[in-house]
Amino acid sequence: MRNDLPPRRPGAVRTRLLSVIGVVGVGAVAGSLLLWHAQVGDFLGLAADKEPVVSTVSAPAIGAPPASTPSTSTPTPTRRPTYPPTTPPKTPSTSPTKRKTTEPTTTAVREESINGLSPKLKARLKKAMAAARADGITISITSARRSASKQQRLLNAAIKKYGSYKVATRWVLPPKYSAHVQGKAVDIGPAAAMTWLNKNGWRYGVCRRYDNEPWHFEALTAPGTKCPPREPHAVAKAD
Ligand SMILES: [Zn+2]
């Protein structure tokens, strides 16, 4: 029994070893083949990826030769989209919109906007507002330039309120006399801002004009010079 065993063992070991070597060898070969196949597949895959690009690019240019068109037509589509959005559309699109926005704003500026005021009053008021802000005072514009129709409506309402044209015009002048319609007057608030501007406005050439309207200011003096004496109230010259 013992003598029989040794010959069997080497044989068994050999067969096992051979089989192991064979399995490993086959596995290695198979593995290397798979790897190689995978590499080839990747290469083919990459090559295949390139092909559709070429075919799609060449597809639009049906009449043109397929070999030369992809190379020439590929850069042109990329250039074409970049050029029109950046240069040509911007210039025409911005200039019309600028014109469109400037034209209506000059005619239909909000009554509370500083932009409706005359350049002189606007510049002076801006400086005054900045100085007031530095003092902790916020000047709010309640009424700057008014349309003639708005001024007329205000006058009509004032006539109803005060009972006569004469008294009404102490508060609201007719459109043709109103400094607001000309963009040469501004009404501000709140009370602290009125007080500040009444005290400091002369530095910027902005003056309170009427005793009865502490909110109403005009550019009545040269900046840094004393404001003229106040008038009791507005007076309609005629009409
Ligand atoms: Zn006013």
3-state secondary structure 147-202: CHHHHHHHHHHHHHHHCCHHHHCCCCCCCCCCCCCCCCEEEEECHHHHHHHHHHHH
Ligand 1 center to residue 171 CA distance, Å?
8
- Can you tell me the distance from the alpha carbon of 151 to that of 111, in angstroms, rounded to the nearest whole number? 11
Ligand 1 center to residue 129 CA distance, Å?
17
Ligand 1 center to residue 69 CA distance, Å?
72
Mean pLDDT over all residues of the chain? 71
Indicate whether 18 pLDDT > 90: no
Indicate whether 33 pLDDT > 80: no
Reported as a pLDDT band with limits 50, 70 and 90, residue 44 is: very low
Structure tokens at 226: 């004393």
Ligand 1 center to residue 217 CA distance, Å?
7
Architecture of domain 114-145+183-218: 2-Layer Sandwich (3.30)
Q: Which of 38, 206, 30, 182 is nearest to 116 (CA)?
A: 182
Ligand 1 center to residue 154 CA distance, Å?
11
Ligand 1 center to residue 177 CA distance, Å?
12
* pLDDT tens-digit map of 86-133: 333 333 443 444 344 333 444 578 999 999 999 999 999 999 999 999
Residue that is written with structure tokens 């514009």 in the block = 141
Ligand 1 center to residue 143 CA distance, Å?
7
Reported as a pLDDT band with limits 50, 70 and 90, residue 238 is: low
Q: What is the mean pLDDT of residues 10-37?
A: 43
- Can you tell me the distance from the alpha carbon of 81 to that of 77, in angstroms, rounded to the nearest whole number? 7
* pLDDT tens-digit map of 146-167: 999 999 999 999 999 999 999 9
**Amino acid identity for residue 210 in this structure:** Y
Ligand 1 center to residue 218 CA distance, Å?
9
Quote the pLDDT of residue 108: 73
**Model pTM greater than 0.95?**
no
Ligand 1 center to residue 126 CA distance, Å?
17
Residues 6+ apart with CB under 8 A from 126: 114
Ligand 1 center to residue 180 CA distance, Å?
6
Ligand 1 center to residue 136 CA distance, Å?
24
**What percent of the chain shows pLDDT beyond 90?**
53
